[in-house]
Amino acid sequence: MARSKMNREREYTSSMEDYLETIKIIQEENKSDGVKIKDISEKMNVKMSSVNNALQTLSKLGLINYKPYKQVTLTSKGNKLAKKLYLKHKLLKDIFYNFFLLEEDIAEKIACDIEHYIPEYIVKKLLIIRKQIIKNPSISYNEIIKIIKNNK
């Protein structure tokens, strides 16, 4: 049954998700709900016109509140999705950096590349594995498999 979830089409493009995640990150960095379009452009290293086009699309989808020359805010729906994306990104980066011992910039890039394609049920399993390894670094492979099977 879980395998069929992989075939489901994604609701949003990777680019849309990147914009939402970037808005969330800037909000947290600035400790503010409103985000300047210029800040999004700089953070993502894209032209302001590209940002404006993407924000119009996200606004039409009800994910952000956007008006030209005003700060952008996430709607409740957008905030929920952005939070999920950001947490997924942080989890993947943590796994690649701390467990696979990749360099931080490489771990960041890989997390950013694959975060859009990993379904939620796999994220939940990765969270379980991470938690168990942190709790008990000498845990065996078989013990991890048993825990995952018990947490379906």
Question: pLDDT of 84-108, one tens digit each?
Answer: 999 999 999 999 999 999 999 999 9
The structural domains of the chain, ordered by start, are 11-118 (1.10.10.10)
Residue 46 Cα distances to 67, 73, 121, 143, 151, angstroms: 19, 19, 32, 46, 41
Is the alpha carbon torsion for 6, 10, 15, 21 positive or negative? Answer: negative
Which pLDDT score, from 0 to 100, does residue 69 have?
A: 86
User: How many angstroms separate the CA atoms of 115 and 86, rounded?
Assistant: 9
Residue whose entry in the numeric block shows the structure tokens 């099977």: 149
Question: pLDDT of 104-149, one tens digit each?
Answer: 999 999 999 999 999 999 999 999 999 999 999 999 999 989 988 8
Which pLDDT score, from 0 to 100, does residue 45 have?
A: 96
User: How many angstroms separate the CA atoms of 29 and 140, rounded?
Assistant: 38
Question: pLDDT of 26-74, one tens digit each?
Answer: 999 999 999 999 999 999 999 999 999 999 999 999 999 999 889 999 9
